Amino acid sequence: MSNKKRALFLCTHNSCRSQMAEGLINHDLGDRVEAFSAGTEKTRVKPLAAKVLQELGIDTSPLYSKTLEAFDGQPFDYVITLCGDANEKCPLYFGGTERIHIGFEDPSRLPGSDEEVLPEYRRVRDQIRQTLTEFFKKELA
């Protein structure tokens, strides 16, 4: 049996921020945290979200959009909403775990070409990485 903590990251579409959080935490803290992601609605992983993870050497092949129902009955140590909409729509408790909200801006809503919005994807990726790494380091200390 694993001693890893289990974290579920939630966003509305499970297409950008929650996918980046899942990939980053599994890559950076995978020896101590097993990360998953879901949304209140199922769509697809945004190509630019995958691209900015791949820039860091993160394998994005396991990432796909899924809804909360995919995790029915599974226990989690942390359930973390990353957007205001998911914070409002998600249950207060998921599998007996209290939800935590750590919000980030949504780069997928920005107008412009891929080249124009790519720097914002990188900025949000880096912010997610820094904020969640600090959060888990405090929690796991």
Catalytic residues: 11, 83, 90
Distance between CA atoms of residues 17 and 106, nearest Å: 7
CA angle (52, 119, 89) in 5-degree steps: 70
Residue pair 131/21 in contact by the 8 Å Cβ criterion: no
CA distance 49 to 131: 17
Q: b/e for 63-101, b at 16 or more Cβ within 10 A?
A: bebebbeebeeeebebbbbbbebbbeebeeebeebebee
Q: Which amino acid is at 52?
A: V
